[in-house]
Amino acid sequence: MDAEFSKKCDFFIGIDSDGCAFDTMELKHKECFAPMTIYHWNFQCISKYAREAFEFVNLYSKNRGVNRFPALIEVFRLLQHRPEVLARGVHVEIPQDLVTWIESETKLGNAALERAVAQTDNPVLKKTYAWSVDINKMVDKIVGEGVPPFPMVRESLQRLQDKADMVVVSATPQEALMREWDKQGILQYVRTVCGQEIGTKKESLRLAEQYSPDHSLMIGDAPGDYKAALANKTLFFPINPGEEEASWQRFYDEGIDRFLNLEFAGEYQKQLLDEFDSHLPVNPPWKQV
């Protein structure tokens, strides 16, 4: 968290990046994360099911937007019990050393993992670190010069720049966030950027404590974003997966005014949350009855 951050405006807005401000979730996970997962964890013989599990966890379920390391464990858990995987004689092991590190580390990023590798020389952590580093390299290569923000993101930031202290709150590595927001010319509209090395989204949103009730808002596309907002008594505007353009248009057309006029909490918030909840299932399609 930015220790130098102090309130300037009456209102605060936290904004998630991947899948929320930028249409990068599908690109990064399908073209970068999933292939590196199949390669590093030797899932070539079950690549179809590994990809399906990875995409469900990270894109199409209530785990959407979770940090890459616990997401990887969830992928292992799904594969471990999938009949088609077992039928091929593949037994997926949960890497307990990685689970232990996740449970003990507060800043789940490459820097912390690199330190753990240096201290322990643990083979599982070394493998995980190589996987994570290669993902970042693939993202740099595939995303390249970057993907523009969703329509109405820039317009919303411009409209709010003198009315709210805006902060990027994301589980994406800090350097990638700074580069992507700067390349698209919208870094200028936010006060600070809080990536995975700064802390969890819940921790980063503590910046909202400086503001009066109903004067802080989180914009996100994942249940974890809402949980972080709830933990910090912050309002939440969802960017519905698959309907991102319509969500941002709605935010620009009505959400901004409702927030600034203190008409957001209550029935309007409930309506948004009910719609958001309907977009992401708990169980994968292959477990549906």
All domains of the chain in start order, with CATH:
11-23+149-277 (3.40.50.1000), 25-143 (no CATH)
Q: Beta 216-220 vs 11-15: how paired, if at all?
A: parallel
Reported as a single tens digit per residue, the pLDDT across 48-71 is 999 999 999 999 998 998 889 999
- Nearest in space to 1 (alpha carbons), one of 222, 194, 280, 260: 194
Average pLDDT estimate for 69-75: 96
140 pLDDT tier (thresholds 50, 70, 90): confident
Judged against a pLDDT cut of 90, whether residue 213 lies above it is answered with: no
Q: Please tell me whether residue 275 adopts helix, strand or coil conformation.
A: helix
Task: Check residues 28 and 288 and name the one with the higher pLDDT.
Answer: 28
The per-residue pLDDT for 87 is 95
Cβ-count burial 216-251 (b if 16+ within 10 Å, e if not): bbbbbbbbbbbebbeebebbbbbbbbeebeebbbbb
Cβ-count burial 69-108 (b if 16+ within 10 Å, e if not): bbbbbbbbebbeebeebeeeebebeebeebeebbeeeeeb
Judged against a pLDDT cut of 60, whether residue 27 lies above it is answered with: yes
Q: Please tell me whether residue 203 adopts helix, strand or coil conformation.
A: helix
Count of other CB atoms within 10 angstroms of residue 6: 10
Judged against a pLDDT cut of 70, whether residue 232 lies above it is answered with: yes
pTM, whole model, 2 decimals? 0.82
The per-residue pLDDT for 67 is 87
Reported as a single tens digit per residue, the pLDDT across 38-48 is 999 999 999 99
Reported as a single tens digit per residue, the pLDDT across 171-210 is 888 888 998 899 999 999 999 999 988 888 999 999 999 9
Query: Contact at 8 Å (CB) between 64 and 221?
Result: yes
The per-residue pLDDT for 196 is 80
Q: Beta 216-220 vs 192-194: how paired, if at all?
A: unpaired
